[in-house]
Amino acid sequence: MKLVICLSILSFYKASFALSVNEVVQSSLNYYPEVLISLEKINQQMGKVSEHEGSFDLHLKGELDKRLDGYYDGEYSKLSLVKPIPSLNTKVYIGIRKSSGEFPSYEGKNVTLSQGEQFMGLSISLIKDALIDLKRYKLLMSKQVARQSKVELEKQKIKVQTNAIKAYWLWYVAGGKLKVYQEILRLSLDRSSKIAKRVKRGDLAKLYTLENNQYNLKREVLVKQATQEFRQASLYLSLFYRDKKGHPQKVTEKDLPKNIVVAIPREYKKSGNDAKAVARSLDLKVLDVIEKQTTLETKIAHNEFLPSLDLSIETAQDRGNGLYQLEEKEDRILLSLNIPLQVRKGRGKLAYAKAKMKELQKKKQFTLEKIRVEVANLEQKLLTHAEVFNLTEKQIALSKKLAQMERKKFFMGGSDLLRVNLREEVVAEAQIKRLSAILKYKFVEAGMHEITVEFI
């Protein structure tokens, strides 16, 4: 019994609360397919980052050199652990070499004592590849692409929010229009019963019944058309209003607010939208990320011009029996120099990166100009729609009084059905204009949220 009572209370509260724009927006941000697709793109890019981080993973390296025939029977094996380190293109390694048999004199370096030669060392790049190399470039570039994917997700989410807000207010206004037409139909039908009584008493001619039925039919058509528009708006809204499984949820007239008119500011006041739009602009953030990518391209291009000077330091110690010359500890240093004489590859990369950087600077400037113009345009539209809304409020109040007075005159014999219906239709037209002003205001307001990247 308690469960039934709880379920009844829950059903009552669910029915008593209308669907809000915030619920629709939150649902769309959590479950709209395009948002989920953008999230997967981020996961893809994070996988790429992990892939390129793997270039610096510890790895085991082995070698085996065995003669199958010939005069010499020398056999050589080597096993080492190698750890690449990003700084200065460094490699640190440790391992053991071991040989057996006889080697020709020119392979004397392979000879070790019976227990092998333990060694450790490192190699670093002193000029080329010191500050950046291909592995670091790919890793840093993948991180920037991942960052760009995150900005693209925010762009997708703010776009989805904008579309969800517009879908909500289309549905809301379509519901408002339906209620307006239902109300004037109700007035006409209510008047039909009163006219029928007066015709029966002989106070009015039967013509009035036929005339009022004509208006009834006209208004029924308007209700049917408004019903169809509302159903279409409901279906569109369901794309954004989804359950936890991501499925579209059905919305009906029951989900509409009881009071269909929302408050619109009497006068739209500017509140630093220009500065917010510039500071939060996702388009500018994308360009910033691409600029960092281009900076990396410039660095790797400059790297192509540099001579390669690599330093290797190694220490080794043989153990076991064998040649006494191998018993002492051995420390070695190796310098490797490679000077590029033609750098067409570097020139091409650098020319591309410089041209791309100039393009980005021009795009950023143009984007800034567009943001400022768009904000000013949206602010002007909000001001205009707020003024129109206020005028329709006054028009509705006045037309309602006139319609009410005309109905009284009609039943007192001082007016006719044509004037009564005209008065009521003027009220309906004014109410539709008010709903239109609300819709336009909310559409522009959604655009302002989008350009200032403000999630509601």
- Judged against a pLDDT cut of 70, whether residue 100 lies above it is answered with yes
For 361, the enclosing helix (H) or strand (E) is helix 344-411
* Length reported for the chain: 456
CA angle, 266 then 269 then 270, to 5°:
160
- The β-bridge partners of 59 are 82
CB 253 within 8 A of CB 430: no
* pLDDT above 70 (res 15): no
Residue 282 main-chain phi, psi, to 5 deg: -75, -30
Average pLDDT over residues 236-244: 93
Chain-centroid distance, C-alpha 51: 24
* Token pair of 145 as six digits: 């692409």
pLDDT for res 5: 38
CA 408/CA 262 separation, integer angstroms: 30
pLDDT of residue 142: 95
Grade residue 93 by pLDDT with cuts at 50, 70 and 90: very high
Given pLDDT bands bounded at 50, 70 and 90, which one contains residue 17?
low
Sort strands 75-85 and 90-100 into parallel, antiparallel or unpaired. antiparallel
Return the pLDDT at 268.
Answer: 62
Give the residue from 30, 56, 109, 1 showing the smallest Cα distance to 455: 30
Give per-residue pLDDT as tens, 148-196.
999 999 999 999 999 999 999 999 999 999 999 999 999 888 888 877 8
Residue bearing tokens 């060392």: 121
DSSP state of 141: H
- Which pTM was predicted? 0.83
Crossing angle of helices 33-53 and 21-31, in 10° steps, is 40
The pLDDT of residue 57 is above 50: yes
Q: What is the mean pLDDT of residues 94-123?
A: 90
Non-local CB neighbours of 157 within 8 Å, separated by 6+ positions: 29, 35, 38, 455
